[in-house]
Structure 1
């Protein structure tokens, strides 16, 4: 049984789920997502491989719920070795002059505000030796990507500040750029795109994990 803890926010599908499955043999997985059924399916797959997971079906925008989760992690394990943040809201593509305010508010809440809370919550749990991972998607400034591009760019700007601030003290902060994958979010952005040219999340998770070199 591993004593390493990996917290995956946005773990129910796509790259987050793929990371959870890829880490099963080296980490106990704490899987966070809103969709209980998808988390249970992830748990089944991890258990079938001989791993173990703790499911946390909650919304990362709920500050009280996330604070309670972090307190529970502290009380049970005292630490987080790896935090992989894969949660994202991909608002519908639209001209900047036609952004729906509900979509804008949701984008800010999920892509930016939640991260601004989670970093202070998790920094003490990660300590000097932990590792936080974010995923860049450099579409900020591209036409029609206003809500998603702006809030994702702001999230990564915050992560880069944390990365620079913690370079000498820890935790380590990595910002990776995944290749295109056949996820639900990408399908909303590029309907009808040939899926054969895209990389399976499982393969991309393995490639990105090799970049992280967690064993070092």
Structure 2
């Protein structure tokens, strides 16, 4: 490893499994101290063991992202301990339900919006001042191809990811003259529990693993990244410019 993130502080949500777990490991391997956030304590403890085995370090934060006050307090705690944040990876998310728009239960709609959109905005709000204090702040917000394809029955998940991309584009425009770089990521189909839930008949072995996908995402946290306000497509391994020219 090149230790591109030596002495950096990185916050990763949804870090107890899947892509978030592997991104957290990858950031730690590059030298970052990882603040790992998830609901599942067991998964966080396993991550901590693996990071320690790599010679890295982590702070575990068991937190349900429906707890908006908890997200606010997390920002305050980071400020108190480190005074800044170098990397934000907003990875946690829910699939919700795949169903006709008129059949989605209000409680499912509300919870999915809360975790995927409201919590992402709350993370942005609480970490923006901290990322601005870094000499090379990097924000990585997970999106999905669903935000653009908007297939039948995917309206809820698609809407949440489209909303996240809009937040990213506006945030990037607000900070384009700062060292902070803000981008979305479309990981593509990946061998995760969420994907299995969405596509139960799919051959999981035909999909890339979370580790393979994370390996493409971790470099977006490096100081040499200049792109901002763009969508990084993992399958194409490149940034796509979706900014409005106006």
Aligned mates of 1:44, 1:213 — CA distance in 2: 23
C-alpha contact (below 8 Å) 2:139/2:221 kept by paired residues: no
State the match for 2:101 in structure 1: 96
State the match for 2:140 in structure 1: 133
Q: Which residue, 139, 150, 155 being the options, matches 1:146?
A: 155
Query: Residue by residue, what CA displacement relative to the aligned partner does 1:92-130 show, whole Å, maximum 9, x if unpaired?
Result: 211111011111011110111112222111000001631
C-alpha contact (below 8 Å) 1:31/1:55 kept by paired residues: yes
Tell me if 1:3 matches 2:7.
Answer: yes
Distance change >3 Å, CA 83–CA 213, structure 1 → 2: closer
Note the 1:1-216 alignment, pairs <5 A. 2-25=6-29, 26-127=31-132, 129-140=136-147, 141-210=150-219, 212=220, 214-216=222-224
Query: Residue by residue, what CA displacement relative to the aligned partner does 1:134-156 show, whole Å, maximum 9, x if unpaired?
Result: 12213142101121111121111
C-alpha contact (below 8 Å) 1:180/1:199 kept by paired residues: yes
List structure 1 segments (4+ residues) > 4 angstroms apart after TM superposition.
none
Root-mean-square deviation over aligned CA pairs: 1.6
Distance change >3 Å, CA 213–CA 100, structure 1 → 2: closer
Q: What TM-score do the two structures reach when normalised by structure 2?
A: 0.83
Please give the secondary structure, in 2, of the residue aligned with 1:91.
coil
